[in-house]
Amino acid sequence: MSVGLRLALPAGALFEDACRLLGEAGVADVDPGQFERRLSVSAGPVTMAKMRPTDVPVYVEMGACDAGIVGKDILWEQPLDCYELVDLRFGACRLVLAAPEGSPLAAGRFPRSLRAATKYPVAARRFFDSLGLAVELIRLHGSVELAPAMGLADCVVDITATGRTLTANHLVEIAEAGRSSARLIANQASLKTRSTAVNQLAAALRRTVTAAPAPAAAAAGEGPG
Amino acid sequence: MSAQQSPARGRAGGFADWIGAAARRRRAVTEAFVDTFAAWGYEYLSTPLVEPLETVAAGVGGGLQTQLFRFMDADGSLLALVGERTVSVARVVATQLQGARPPLRLCYAGPVLFNRPPLGGRRREAMQAGCELIGHPGLAADAECIALAAAALERAGISGVQIDVGHADFVPALLDSAGLDPEARSRVAAALRDRDLVAVEEALGGSEAGEAERELLLAFPTLRGGREILDTAGERIREGRPRQVLADLADLWEVLDHHGITGSVHLDLGAVRDWDYYTGPTFELFSADLGWPLGSGGRYDRLLAAFGAPAPATGFVLHVDRCCDALLRGAGEQEGAQALRLGYPAGSARQAAALAVRLRAAGVAVALDLEPSGDGDQPVADGAARLEDGGLRWRCAGRDGTGVDALVAARTQAVR
């Protein structure tokens, strides 16, 4: 049995914070620049692979990586057989229901039929179900703020960290549908067959994030606006 | 439309063809499992691939049903392709085998199907082999199943297997004795079922859980180890049902030791399994080569009652395809023994056929050429033999020789 640990890291908004956290926790000394020409980098017993965030749960569930760092928002949409071990606190953002300024919805009146545009259909469905609302969901892959402006949908369910993008598109927040931040996830077999290494990783990351004050959602910076 | 583009060449997503070495490996692993089950006194049972949806639902409840291929029978009733076979075995035990003297030792092997999106490399058809030991409530039955599952994996050539043993009652009993209100209890239970420890922490944070229980529930992934963790946990839990579970696991450890397998067993108090189904000890088998369990099992004393014939029961299932993956990753692709090709000159077809019969009777796999070929001057290819006027010439695994007996000896050695 190898003692090495294979770690999946999400490219994009969470990547640099993930690398910094691994360094601060003493897990692996890794410079984000090292991934410019290569997709996987080894530091001591740890091998790190950089990938699209939605691929992180796939690599971890299938056991190609023992553990991974990924936003909770990705896990909402892809419920998989992985363990979610630690809330890493960075990359904080919220899933909100937002509607155009001046619309009936913005005034708190839910019309009989509602169309919502979202990149998060699973989380949005769960949110509307919890309110007992039958809403037609339109799944989009790009900027959902566009949908109400062009008459495609009455409202959006989207991620926001600072609220700036919503304001810029004349959307107002109506309700919070969820809170996300980066999470440490682990493969179910790795937690058993490499339990010492995985548990040490979880403990080191947990110590580091609980020692530092939790960053406010607004401080996430390059996260979603 | 060219043949290349023909829609008739398609294959449904999530299904696989098994060819050559992969097909041989899949069959060999299945046979190794069933042979081991038979050696432990388990009787082989073959049940249908189709069951009435009502039968499936009585066993596994609503959750798994949505993952099955379902269709309508001629009379309008609903049928399903089985997604596991324990329910079928339970149905047989409650009907045809009613009145048989317990304990019943039964085993099976066959495909199961899941109608779920074939994303992320998940398969929709899997080969499963398993055992059910019905009619005995004691830990000896649980230990036998654990030891048998380990023996079957070993017989199939899978090394370094790790067995995680837990108890379905431990976490629920801990939740009961933690003094949680019903809502907090169901939130913690749901989070544990989802394996979301962040949510467990959140749910416990706002609750009035007792200190010892809170500590244990939070330490959950690390509540694993040898016999000693029972003492560690016992220091914090002195009474009630959780304490009784610890005592049960200590007894189970003792019986596992009789079977000589405690060296590869870990006790896992935080094991998260289906609590509505399992009622006692549970276990999972892992290999360092694979990200999924190779098999799992446990005590399910409530299932038979759903078929009107209450009886204690325990059993397990092994995932043949995952075991094949583990073998492939552990040892790499191995060229299996191909059948010996037997050639002959024109006019010797009768002698060649008789020779093939003789070789096969001696345990040598022979593919007899369909047409006579060449003359005695050409060299014999590797893995082939030629019947000639002067007798039999053969060549296999780099060795060549003459004569039937030498060939049988060489092939028997190679197959071993």
> Same domain, yes or no, for B261 and B292?
no
Cα–Cα distance for residue pair B131/A126, rounded to 1 Å: 39
Nearest CA in chain B to A61: B291
| B2 occurs within a structural domain | no
> Same domain, yes or no, for B148 and B295?
yes
> Same domain, yes or no, for B373 and B387?
yes
At residue B198, the 3 state secondary structure works out as helix
> Same domain, yes or no, for B31 and B154?
yes
> Same domain, yes or no, for B295 and B196?
no
How many domains in chain B? 3
| Per-residue pLDDT tens listing for chain B (416 residues) | 455 667 778 888 889 999 988 899 999 999 999 999 999 999 999 999 999 998 988 876 556 777 899 999 999 999 999 999 999 999 999 999 998 999 999 999 999 999 987 766 778 999 999 999 999 999 999 999 999 999 999 999 998 899 999 999 988 888 888 878 888 888 888 888 888 888 888 888 777 777 777 777 777 667 788 899 898 888 888 788 889 999 999 999 999 999 999 999 999 987 777 777 899 999 999 998 888 999 999 999 999 999 999 999 999 999 999 999 999 887 666 655 678 999 999 999 999 999 999 999 998 999 999 999 876 667 888 889 999 888 898 988 778 888 889 998 888 776 54
Chain B residues at the A interface, defined by Cβ less than 8 Å, are: 120-121, 160, 162, 164, 194-199, 201, 221-222, 224, 266, 268, 284, 286-288, 290-293
Cα–Cα distance for residue pair B171/B145, rounded to 1 Å: 22
A40-43: strand order across its sheet: A40-43, A46-51, A5-10, A67-71, A182-187, A82-87
How many angstroms separate the CA of residue B339 from the nearest CA in chain A? 36
| B352 occurs within a structural domain | yes
Scored b (16 or more CB within 10 A) or e, A30-63 reads: beeeebeeeebbebeebbbbbbebebbbbbbbbb
> Same domain, yes or no, for B307 and B320?
yes
Q: What is this model's ipTM?
A: 0.79
Cα–Cα distance for residue pair A217/A223, rounded to 1 Å: 9
Domain harbouring B21, CATH code: 3.30.930.10
By C-alpha distance, which of B400, B275, B389 is closest to B340? Answer: B400
> Same domain, yes or no, for B314 and B365?
no
Query: CB within 8 A of B384, min separation 6: which ones?
Result: B340, B341, B342, B343, B394, B395, B396
| Domain end (from B224, B248, B272) | B272
| B212 occurs within a structural domain | yes
> Same domain, yes or no, for B115 and B142?
yes
Q: Do B150 and B264 meet the contact criterion of CB atoms below 8 Å apart?
A: yes
| B4 occurs within a structural domain | no
Place of tokens 């360092």: B288
Say if A64 is an interface residue toward chain B (CB within 8 Å): yes
Q: Where in chain A is the domain with CATH 3.40.190.10?
A: 5-91+181-220, 93-179
Assigned token pair, A181: 């931040």
CATH superfamily of A93-179: Periplasmic binding protein-like II (3.40.190.10)
Question: Contact A84/B198, CB-based, under 8 Å?
Answer: yes
B366 is in which domain, residue-wise?
340-415
> Same domain, yes or no, for B207 and B227?
yes
Q: Do A110 and A135 meet the contact criterion of CB atoms below 8 Å apart?
A: no
- Is the torsion defined by CA of B399, B403, B409, B415 positive or negative? positive
CATH among 3.40.190.10, 2.60.40.10, 3.30.465.10, 3.40.50.720 for A5-91+181-220: 3.40.190.10
Scored b (16 or more CB within 10 A) or e, A147-162 reads: bbeeeebbbbbbbbbb
At residue A197, the 3 state secondary structure works out as helix
> Same domain, yes or no, for B357 and B323?
no
Spell out which residues of chain B touch residue A189, defining contact as CB-CB under 8 Å.
286-287, 290-293
Please state at what angle helix B139-155 crosses helix B20-39, rounded to 10 degrees.
Answer: 150
Nearest CA in chain A to B196: A84
| B263 occurs within a structural domain | yes
Say if A191 is an interface residue toward chain B (CB within 8 Å): yes
- Specify the pTM: 0.84
> Same domain, yes or no, for B29 and B174?
no
> Same domain, yes or no, for B150 and B17?
yes
Q: Do A207 and A25 meet the contact criterion of CB atoms below 8 Å apart?
A: yes
Q: Do B233 and B213 meet the contact criterion of CB atoms below 8 Å apart?
A: no
| DSSP state letters, B340-394 | EEEE--TT-HHHHHHHHHHHHHTT--EEE-SS----TTSPPPTTEEEEETTEEEE
